[in-house]
Structure 1
C-alpha cells in the first residue's frame, strides 16, 4: 500500500467522522481530522522538495563546469554562459518549466553596501579586486543600483528559449549588464529530461564574495548527487581539496563522482614528453589515479575522524577519476561551425603536437570519443537518476508506518470515549451521573494538587539547570576560536623554446618556436568564510545543545504521562462508593491536551560583523590577527545573545508552567462540564443515541479499519 492510498482512505474515514466532531469536546474526533491535514502537508512537501533529484556540478572557477553542463544537457549549445573570472561566478539552478523563464535573485542593499565598502580598501587581496571589478561593472553599465536591488527578485518569461538564453547572459555573463548585482539565478526550461530533476551550476568556493559563498553552501546542502570537476592539468590541487572540505555537504549526498576535466589540456602539457598518444594517456591516468588515492584518502580519513562516515565512504570510493574533455566531445560530435575560437585553437594545437612529436600521428574519431569519455559520464548521470528514484520510494514508504502509528493511537482514544458513552447510556441515569459529577468536582482540588506536585518538580529542575547550561556554553567557545591556515597556489606563466627542426626538411633545421608553461608557488592564508562558518556552527550547536538539555528536562510527553498516572492512581484509591470510571477518560483527555511550553531560540545573523569587514583570503599577518580577534568577539556576542535569550525564555516557561498549575483544576472542571452537557443531550434521545454510538463503534472497529485503512 502506498502513502497516497493510505491518505485517500484516511480521507474517506475523516469524511465519515466529520459529523461526529461536535459531539466530542475533548478532541477525540478532531485529532483524527488533524492527522489527515498534517499528512496532506507532509505528502505535498515531500513531493515538492524530496521528489526533486538535485544534481550539482562543483569545481573551481575556470574548471569548465558551464561548458560541461552545456555539452551534457544541451548538446553543446551555450545555454549557460561561462564565468571567466570569480567576479561573475553566480550560482544557477536549472529546473523544468512549461514556459521558459528566468528568475533572478539580487544582492540585498546591505550586501551591496558591503561590496562597495570593500572596493574602497587599498590592499591587493583577491576579494578587494573582485569588489572593485563588480563596482566598475555597475558603473560601466550605467544602471540605477538602488532601483534594481529594491526588486530583490525578478522573473522573466519568454516563448523562445534562444531569447531567454540571450537574456540570461545579461544577468550571468562575464560582461552582462546586471551580472554584478546578481547573487543567484534559476532557469526554467521545457526540457522533459529535467522533469523531477534540478541541475545546480555552482560558482566554486574560490568565490571571494562571502554572501555568494554562503548562498552556495545553502544550495549545496540540498544536493543529492555531485559531479566534482577538477582540471586534469592541475588535478586536486589545494584549492580543490579546500573546496571539497568546505563546500561538500556532510550529509545528504548519495552519489559523488570525480571528474578530471579539460583532459585535452593535460594531454597538451604532457604530450611533447611522450612517444605516442597511448603513452601519454597511460602516464596521465596513472598520475591522476595516484593523486586521487593520496589526496582523497587523506581527506576521507579526516572526515571519518570527524564522525562523517557516509561522506568518508564516498570519498574513499573516488580512487579512479573519470577523465573527460568537453572539447574532445565537441570535436567528435559537433559540426565545425559550432566550435568557438578556444576550441578551434586547442584542436589546432593538438593536431600540430601529434604531427610534430608523435611522428605525424593523426587523431581519429575514436580518439576524440575516448578522450571525451562522455559515454561514461552519461552512464553515471543516468544511474544516479535511477538509483535516486529507488531512494525516494524508500523514503515515501517510511511515511506510512509513522502515519499508521499516529492513527492507531488516535483511534484508541476515540474507542475509549465511545465505549464510555455507550456504557453510561446503558447503565446509568442522568440523575446518578449528575450526582457523580458533583462528587468529582469536590475532589478536583485534591486531584489537581497531586498533579501540580509533578509540575513543581519540573520547575525546580529547570531553575537548577539554567546556570549549569550557561557555564557549559561559555566553556565551548574555545574550540571554535581556532582557524585553519590554508596553503594557496599562485599560477605563473613562463616561455620556453621548442625545436621545430625536421630531419627531412633542411630548411627547418635550427628553427624553433616559443611555447608557454605554467608553474605554481605556495602562500599561506586564512579564509574569511572559515570564520563565518565557525560562528554559524557555534550558534547552531549552541542552539541544539540548549534545546536538547532543556527539552530533556521538560519532556512534555513524559510529564503528561506522569500526570495521567497520578490521575489514575488518585481515582483508583478513592472511596468504594465513588466510581469515576465514567469520567476518567474525560480527565485523561484534558491532560493529553495540556499545551506545555517548549523552548525556541532565534539565532539571527551572528556572522554579520565578519562578512562586513573581511572577504576571501586573508594573507597579511596583521589582517590574520584582526580576523582572529573579530572571530573571538563575534563568538562572545553569539554566546551573550543566546544566553540572554535562553534565560528570558526559561523564565517565561516558568511562568507558563505556573499558570498551568493554577489553571489545572479549572481545566479539569470544564472538561467534566462539557462531557456532562453532551451526555444530557444524549439521554434526551437515549435509544437513538445508543444506536448512533454503536454505528460509530462499528465504523472504527478493527475489522472496519482493516478494510478502510490497511
Structure 2
C-alpha cells in the first residue's frame, strides 16, 4: 500500500488544530501537537533526499563522461561542461535549483599542505605530477593560498542565467581558471526540469593527490542508486581504469553498476580498415573486448573476495558484460545536423568515408546509428535503477506513515487517560476528597533513595559491560590491520642501438642508429586510501558497538517502567483517599516527559594520520611503513574512544543525578497543577462534564489517521 505523505500531513495538521482547541487544558495535548512538526520534518527529508535518484559517473578524464551525461539526461544538449585535464578534474554534483548557482568547496589548509608534500616527492608518479601542476597553477594566478583558504571551505556563487553560470564555472574548474587549483569539489544547481528528483555525481578520473577527495568520491558513490563506469573502447579497461576501479569504488552501498565501453564509433574507425563489413567489424570488437572485460573483472572480483569484501565483489560481477555505446552515434540518429558539434561532424565524415572506401560503398542507416549508439540499453539500465528504487521509497514512505500512526495512537491514549481521570473525579468526587490527594506528596520524597539506587545499579552495569566490550574491540583491531598489495604496471622508455650498415653500400658500413621503444614493468603497491578506509571502518564499528551497548543499558522505556513501579511501591496505595487511576495517569505523564541521556561518541578523522604520511600508491619499503602506521593509528583510535567512553560515563552519571534531583519535585508540581485544574472544573461542574464526554467521543472517533 502506497501512502501519500502530503495527505497524511494535512490530516495530522487538521486534527492537531482540532485538539488544540478542544483539549487545551491538558499537558498531554502538547505531546500530540509535537507530532505535527515531527511528521513535517520527516516528510521534508523524504521529499528532498530520499526520493532523489542518484546517478554516479566514473571514468578517466576524456572518457566522454560529460557528453554521455548530456546525451542520457538532456537529449544531447551541452548542459554539463567538460573537464579539461586531469589536474582540473574534481568531484561535481549536479542537482535541480530554482535559479542557477554554484557552491565551491576549497581544500583546507591541511589538505593543501599535504598536496605540497606530495609535490615535493621525487619521481614522476601521477600524484606528484598533478600536485606540482596544481601548485604551479596557483602560483601562475598569484594566489595567496593561505589567505584564500583560511575563511572556510565553501563559497556560494550565483548567476543570472545558465550561460553566465557556466562562464563563472570556468574560473573555478576551467583548465586555467583563476581559482581552479584550490577547488576540491563543486555543486552545480541548474533550473532544468530534467534534473528534478535527480542528483548526478561526476567523479574525477585521476589518481588524486588529495586523499580526502578520494574518500569524498567513495562516500558519494556509496549513496548512488546507479553508477555508470565509462571506459573508452579503444583503450578498454586499461591499467588506469583498473586502478580507478580499485581506488574509488566504495566498500558498500552502490546498488547497480553498469560498465560502458564508450566511444565505440572511434573503435569502429580504427578496426574497420581491416574488416570487410560493418557487421564483421562490430562482431570482432564486441567479442574481443567482451572476453577481455570478463577476464579483467573476474580478477578484481577474486581480489575483493580474498579481502572478504563480498558485497563489492558481487557488484563487480555485474560488470562482466559491458554495454557498448557511442554518444556520437546516438547523436547521429537523434539530433538534427545543426546541433552536431565539430567533433561529431569530423567523426561522421571519417566513418562514412571509410564505409565507402573499405566496405564497398556501404551507407550507414538510421538503424546502424541507433544500434552502435545503444542508448536504448543504457536507458533501460537507468530506468531499472528507478524501478529498483521505487519499492525502497514505498517502504520508507509506509514506515513513516506507520510510525506516525503508532505515535498518534500512543499520545492520544495518554490524552484519553487524562481526560477519563478528570471526568471520573468530577463525576464521583468532591473538593474535600481531592484535598486528601495531596498527602501523596509527603511520600514522594522517599522515592529519591530508590531512584539513586537504580542509578547506581545502571552505572555498575555500564562499567562492567563497557570493560567487556572494550576488550572485545581491542581484539578486533587485528582484523583491520590488513594491508593488501596489488600489481601495477608502468611504462618505461628504453632505447637500443641497431646497425644501419648495408652490404651493398660501403659508405654505410659501421653506421648505427638509436631506436626508442616503450617497455612495461610490473610492480607491487598498496593503496593508502584502502588503509585510511580501514581506520574509518574500525572507528565506526567501535562507535556503533559502544553507543548501542550504552543505549541498551540506559534504555529509556525500561528505566521509566522501573521508576513507575518503584514510586507506586512507596506510596500508601491502600488509603481510602488514594485514587489509583488518577495518580497513575499523573505519574505516567510526569515520567514520560523525562529526557534521559544517550551516549554519542566523536572519533574525529583519525584517517588523517594515514593521509598525512601516505598518498596514492605506496611502494617498496614504504608498504611496511604503511602497515606500521595503520596499526599505530588503530591503537590510537581505540585509546581515544576509551577516553570518550570515560567522559561519557561521567556525563551519564551527571544527567541521571539531575533526574534524581528533579523528578520528585516535578511530580509534586504536576499533582498540584492537576488539583488546581480540578478545582476550576468543579466551579463549572456540569459544563465541564459535558465537555469531557464530548472530548472522549472525539478521541475515540480519531484513533485512526
Which interval holds the TM-score relative to the shorter structure?
0.7 to 0.9
**SS class of match (2:463):** helix
d(CA) in 1 for partners of 2:166 and 2:124? 35
Task: Give CA-to-partner distance per residue, 1:270-328, whole Å, 9 cap, x none.
Answer: 54554443223223323444445455556567778988877666544444321012233
Q: Relative to structure 2, which stretch is displaced further, 170-179 or 341-350?
A: 341-350
d(CA) in 1 for partners of 2:423 and 2:236? 77
Query: In the superposition, relative to structure 1, how do residues 448 and 586 fare at CA in structure 2: closer, same or farther (>3 Å)?
Result: farther
Q: Is the 8 A contact 1:56 1:199 kept in 2?
A: yes
**SS class of match (2:102):** strand
**SS class of match (1:23):** coil
Q: Relative to structure 2, which stretch is displaced further, 607-616 or 341-350?
A: 341-350
Q: Report what 1:668 is aligned to.
A: 667
Q: Is the 8 A contact 1:89 1:207 kept in 2?
A: no
d(CA) in 2 for partners of 1:288 and 1:445? 81
Q: Report what 2:188 is aligned to.
A: 187
d(CA) in 2 for partners of 1:683 and 1:191? 64
Q: Is the 8 A contact 2:572 2:578 kept in 1?
A: no
Q: Report what 1:167 is aligned to.
A: 168
Query: In the superposition, relative to structure 1, how do residues 627 and 285 fare at CA in structure 2: closer, same or farther (>3 Å)?
Result: same
1:69-218 map, 5 Å: 69-149=69-149, 150=151, 152-204=153-205, 206-218=207-219
Query: In the superposition, relative to structure 1, how do residues 342 and 193 fare at CA in structure 2: closer, same or farther (>3 Å)?
Result: closer
Q: How many residues align?
A: 682
1:526-565 map, 5 Å: 526-565=526-565
RMSD over aligned CA atoms reads 3.4
TM-aligned CA deviation for residue 34 of structure 1: 0.9
TM-aligned CA deviation for residue 442 of structure 1: 3.0
Q: Is the 8 A contact 1:238 1:487 kept in 2?
A: no
1:96-495 map, 5 Å: 96-149=96-149, 150=151, 152-204=153-205, 206-237=207-238, 239-241=240-242, 243-244=244-245, 247-249=248-250, 252-268=253-269, 270-271=271-272, 274-296=275-297, 314-332=315-333, 363-385=364-386, 388=389, 391-438=392-439, 440-447=440-447, 449-490=449-490
Query: In the superposition, relative to structure 1, how do residues 159 and 517 fare at CA in structure 2: closer, same or farther (>3 Å)?
Result: farther
Query: In the superposition, relative to structure 1, how do residues 105 and 564 fare at CA in structure 2: closer, same or farther (>3 Å)?
Result: same
**SS class of match (1:105):** strand
TM-aligned CA deviation for residue 132 of structure 1: 0.5
Query: In the superposition, relative to structure 1, how do residues 39 and 298 fare at CA in structure 2: closer, same or farther (>3 Å)?
Result: farther
Q: Report what 2:48 is aligned to.
A: 48
Q: Report what 1:597 is aligned to.
A: 597
Query: In the superposition, relative to structure 1, how do residues 258 and 281 fare at CA in structure 2: closer, same or farther (>3 Å)?
Result: same
TM-aligned CA deviation for residue 642 of structure 1: 1.4
d(CA) in 2 for partners of 1:311 and 1:532? 18
TM-aligned CA deviation for residue 259 of structure 1: 1.2
Query: In the superposition, relative to structure 1, how do residues 340 and 422 fare at CA in structure 2: closer, same or farther (>3 Å)?
Result: closer
TM-aligned CA deviation for residue 14 of structure 1: 1.3
Q: Is the 8 A contact 1:267 1:281 kept in 2?
A: yes
Q: Is the 8 A contact 1:567 1:588 kept in 2?
A: no
d(CA) in 2 for partners of 1:375 and 1:492? 42
Query: In the superposition, relative to structure 1, how do residues 408 and 204 fare at CA in structure 2: closer, same or farther (>3 Å)?
Result: farther
Query: In the superposition, relative to structure 1, how do residues 578 and 342 fare at CA in structure 2: closer, same or farther (>3 Å)?
Result: closer
Q: Is the 8 A contact 1:81 1:172 kept in 2?
A: no
Task: Give CA-to-partner distance per residue, 1:440-464, whole Å, 9 cap, x none.
Answer: 2233244554455433321221122
Q: Could you tell me which of 18, 38, 50 is aligned with 1:16?
A: 18
Query: In the superposition, relative to structure 1, how do residues 243 and 553 fare at CA in structure 2: closer, same or farther (>3 Å)?
Result: farther
Query: In the superposition, relative to structure 1, how do residues 370 and 648 fare at CA in structure 2: closer, same or farther (>3 Å)?
Result: same
Q: Could you list the runs of 5+ residues in structure 2 that have no partner in the other structure?
A: 496-515
**SS class of match (2:465):** helix
**SS class of match (2:535):** helix
TM-aligned CA deviation for residue 672 of structure 1: 2.0
TM-aligned CA deviation for residue 137 of structure 1: 1.1
Query: In the superposition, relative to structure 1, how do residues 248 and 125 fare at CA in structure 2: closer, same or farther (>3 Å)?
Result: closer
d(CA) in 2 for partners of 1:536 and 1:260? 33
TM-aligned CA deviation for residue 415 of structure 1: 0.7
Q: Report what 1:4 is aligned to.
A: 6
Query: In the superposition, relative to structure 1, how do residues 306 and 536 fare at CA in structure 2: closer, same or farther (>3 Å)?
Result: same
d(CA) in 2 for partners of 1:72 and 1:56? 13
Q: Report what 1:511 is aligned to.
A: none
Question: 1:679 aligned to 2:683?
Answer: no
Query: In the superposition, relative to structure 1, how do residues 90 and 635 fare at CA in structure 2: closer, same or farther (>3 Å)?
Result: same
TM-aligned CA deviation for residue 412 of structure 1: 0.8
Q: Is the 8 A contact 1:21 1:30 kept in 2?
A: no
Task: Give CA-to-partner distance per residue, 1:458-496, whole Å, 9 cap, x none.
Answer: 12211222322222232222222211212224357999x
d(CA) in 1 for partners of 2:605 and 2:202? 26
TM-aligned CA deviation for residue 419 of structure 1: 0.4
Query: In the superposition, relative to structure 1, how do residues 198 and 625 fare at CA in structure 2: closer, same or farther (>3 Å)?
Result: same
d(CA) in 1 for partners of 2:290 and 2:644? 52
Q: Report what 2:507 is aligned to.
A: none
d(CA) in 1 for partners of 2:411 and 2:249? 42
Q: Relative to structure 2, which stretch is displaced further, 192-201 or 331-340?
A: 331-340
Task: Give CA-to-partner distance per residue, 1:72-124, whole Å, 9 cap, x none.
Answer: 34455544443354322211222223433333222223322322233233343
Query: In the superposition, relative to structure 1, how do residues 246 and 616 fare at CA in structure 2: closer, same or farther (>3 Å)?
Result: closer
Q: Report what 2:504 is aligned to.
A: none
Q: Could you list the runs of 5+ residues in structure 1 that have no partner in the other structure?
A: 496-515
Query: In the superposition, relative to structure 1, how do residues 641 and 21 fare at CA in structure 2: closer, same or farther (>3 Å)?
Result: farther
d(CA) in 2 for partners of 1:354 and 1:622? 55
Query: In the superposition, relative to structure 1, how do residues 420 and 309 fare at CA in structure 2: closer, same or farther (>3 Å)?
Result: farther
**SS class of match (1:226):** strand
d(CA) in 2 for partners of 1:660 and 1:570? 18
**SS class of match (2:621):** helix
Question: 1:57 aligned to 2:49?
Answer: no
Query: In the superposition, relative to structure 1, how do residues 242 and 121 fare at CA in structure 2: closer, same or farther (>3 Å)?
Result: closer
Query: In the superposition, relative to structure 1, how do residues 517 and 659 fare at CA in structure 2: closer, same or farther (>3 Å)?
Result: same
Q: Is the 8 A contact 2:87 2:130 kept in 1?
A: yes
Query: In the superposition, relative to structure 1, how do residues 704 and 82 fare at CA in structure 2: closer, same or farther (>3 Å)?
Result: closer
d(CA) in 2 for partners of 1:575 and 1:594? 28
Query: In the superposition, relative to structure 1, how do residues 563 and 602 fare at CA in structure 2: closer, same or farther (>3 Å)?
Result: same
TM-score (norm 1): 0.86
**SS class of match (2:600):** coil
Q: Report what 1:498 is aligned to.
A: none
Query: In the superposition, relative to structure 1, how do residues 300 and 572 fare at CA in structure 2: closer, same or farther (>3 Å)?
Result: farther
Query: In the superposition, relative to structure 1, how do residues 300 and 34 fare at CA in structure 2: closer, same or farther (>3 Å)?
Result: farther
TM-aligned CA deviation for residue 198 of structure 1: 1.9
d(CA) in 2 for partners of 1:378 and 1:493? 43
d(CA) in 1 for partners of 2:171 and 2:267? 33
**SS class of match (2:8):** helix
